[in-house]
Amino acid sequence: MLRQLLLTVSDVSRYFVSTVLQFQIYRGMCRAAGQYDVNDPRKPLHKCDVYRHPEAGNLLKQIMSKGASQPWQETLEEALGEGRLDGSALREYFAPLEEWLRLENLRTNEYVGWNYDGDYCKRSIETANLQVFGGYYNDANHQQQYLHFMKLLLSHLFIFMVCNVILK
């Protein structure tokens, strides 16, 4: 179980890094293609289309051609002028959605977050007629569900922590 959890943490870390890099490289490709300009509201990142733009393809080719011959930080620095992992491209891409959600939550008076309402979990367990053995519910698929839950939880926590560190 511990080995699976450690592998899960490793997988989640790789997934997180690859997702942030994906958006960072995408932003670089959009800049190279002239499809994105941070100072031009008519060219936002989320509307960038690099299809049939050889400049974008050449940038990707430059990055991919290095393979594992040098650290990824050096490859990123050479190609994009950014030598470290940066979550700002991901935030820029989803900025319109984030703004819409913020305004929609204000409009509908939604509360974002968690409200503690006492022993909700205890009442839910009793209502579902479940018994708790050693901290686990008596569910046959619990181990798989637990690992899936841990993957999701760790990935979201990791993304939240890194984005907060990067953006501060």
Q: Pick out the residues of the known binding site for chloride.
A: 14
Token representation of residue 119: 């022993």
Write out the DSSP string of 58-106.
HHHHHHHHTTTSS-HHHHHHHHHS--S--THHHHHHTHHHHHHHHHHHH
In Å, what is the CA distance from 68 to each residue of 63, 86, 108, 153, 157? 10, 20, 50, 30, 29
Cα 111 from Cα 144, distance rounded (Å): 31
21: Cβ–Cβ under 8 A, 6 or more apart, which residues? Answer: 72, 76, 85
Q: Enumerate the known binding-site residues.
A: 14
